[in-house]
Amino acid sequence: MLKFFRLLQSTETSFRRILMGRILLMTIPVLLLLQYATYRKARSSLLETARYNIIESAIEKGDRLDLSIKALTDQVKTASESGILQSGDLSKIDPYLNELSQRFSNSVVCLQLHDPTQDKVISSTCGVERIGNLDSEKIAQKSYAQFSTHVEVKLLLEALPSAFYHYGKDRLHFLINAPVYDPSGQPQSNLVIEATVSLQQNQDRKSLSGYTVIINEEGTIIAHIDPTRIGTYVSEEKNKNLNFRLESILRSATAGQTNFLHLPEFDQSSREVITGYTAIPNPTTAGSSKGKWVVLAVTPLEHALYGLQEIRQTLINLVLGLIAANLIATLILSRSLVTPVEQLGKYAQSFECSVSPEAIPQKFKIHEFNQLAKALNSMVARLTSWAEELEVAWQEAKSSNQLKSEFLTSISHELRTPLNAIIGSVRLVKDGFCDDKEEEFEFLQQVDNAALHLLSIINDILDLSKIEAGK
């Protein structure tokens, strides 16, 4: 591996590749980091919005449920005070109950008028089978002055064994009992109504209202989108983390707090959900202020982040577009930076092969390259001048060498002639070829003349050397 990196470092590459690599190496990670930061910000914003909406949905669900039950209870109480029911005339009671059933619309499944003393059904809109077994039917035997405002509400968690019973998982089912008194204030009968209240279960991916879950203060789940969990206790949850969080919700809600919490594996698909919660008075406590219902608005986390997939795809497309634009910009930038360098390199190569190179045009768009071209032109001008001077000096040296050769040829001849004369005369005298003294003197005189001539030539050579040396 080390050898591979060394090979990469030693491998020669082009300026264009280095420039493009450096620009892309600096810009692409920045774009990816910006995409990640934007994605995280979008996710946190969507979560914050979902949490706020789920809290508002829980409050709205709780208020609407409380108002619906109170309105239904008030309607039952008003109906129990009707003169038709108090008269005990069955010919009028049956049409009146049918009229009440239509007036209550879909919220009422069955209306019955019971005789508490004989434990029988006086009148019914859903058959003769008795519905309910309420303690208030015994209370109705008391006087009107004692229990004139008493209406009992009982929650039904299981289906009644009656053919007319019909329910759905998005509704709560109640038995509501109100005593009916005769004009003298004595207990006469009980008006018993089986009614339902809608829970507004919304599982649309685009909606953040969520579905409704209701838990009473004892920890019993009394409403859930999963029917198998209805009637179970929070403490029975196998997931300890879920158990702890649900108990925390119960404590906070019953203490009057309204907030949100993430719950793991709370729905049928075992997905993480966001839960907003609030508390309402327990309508089945018959006016007691001790009990509360905790109303939860629940939506899956993926529903809360429904728009995140589109945002992520948009960010991916945006980053890909920015990378493509960055690549194009890098190519253009590298071209604008590398082209002048390549032109200068080609000019340098042409200067190497050209006798009289042209000047580099100083028309680049980048100021620094124009300065470099100017400097290269100045350098080329100086090199050309130096080359011309060197050529002249070389020619002068060549001429000087030629003159020296000619001078040496001439001097050698001039030196050889007197030396030959001196040598010849001296040998004649030495060998005794002279006839007399006068002839010897004549030869010696020739030697003297030749020596003086040789001395004159040597002096001339020395004078020329001194002149060339600048002396």
| Higher-scoring residue by pLDDT: 115, 8 | 115
Which pLDDT belongs to residue 172?
Answer: 82
| DSSP one-letter code for 126 | S
Residue 359, by phi and psi: left (phi above 0), alpha (psi -120 to 50) or beta? beta
A 10 A CB-CB count for 354 gives 10
Do 43-59+201-308 and 81-198 show the same overall fold? yes
Confidence label for 350 from pLDDT (cuts 50, 70 and 90) = confident
Q: Is residue 215 a contact partner of residue 250, using CB atoms and an 8 Å limit?
A: yes
Using CA atoms, how far apart are residues 340 and 347, in angstroms rounded to an integer?
10
Q: Which of 166, 163, 164, 189 is nearest to 178 (CA)?
A: 189
CATH class of 81-198: alpha beta
Which pLDDT belongs to residue 352?
Answer: 62
Domain spans in the chain, listed from the N-terminal domain onward: 15-39+309-350, 43-59+201-308, 81-198, 363-471
Question: Is pTM, for the whole model, over 0.85?
Answer: no
Beta strands across the sheet bearing 211-216: 221-223, 211-216, 292-300, 273-281, 259-263
Using CA atoms, how far apart are residues 49 and 114, in angstroms rounded to an integer?
51
Strand stretches in 38-134, DSSP E: 108-115, 120-124
A 10 A CB-CB count for 193 gives 29
Residues, the chain: 471
Mean pLDDT of 89-118: 80
Residue whose pair of structure tokens reads 């020395």 in the numeric block:
462
Which pLDDT belongs to residue 8?
Answer: 47
Q: Is residue 273 a contact partner of residue 263, using CB atoms and an 8 Å limit?
A: yes
| DSSP one-letter code for 228 | G
Cα of 92 vs its chain's centroid, Å: 72
Strands 211-216 and 221-223: antiparallel
Which pLDDT belongs to residue 295?
Answer: 92
Mean pLDDT of the chain: 78
Confidence label for 227 from pLDDT (cuts 50, 70 and 90) = confident
Q: Is residue 194 a contact partner of residue 108, using CB atoms and an 8 Å limit?
A: yes
Which is it for the CA torsion 296, 297, 300, 305, positive or negative? negative
Domain at 363-471: CATH code: 1.10.287.130
| DSSP one-letter code for 211 | E
pLDDT tops 70 at residue 165: no
Least confident of 60-64, 302-306, 317-321: 302-306
- CATH, domain 43-59+201-308, list 3.10.150.10, 3.10.50.40, 3.30.1360.120, 3.30.450.20: 3.30.450.20
Mean pLDDT of 9-29: 73
Confidence label for 45 from pLDDT (cuts 50, 70 and 90) = confident
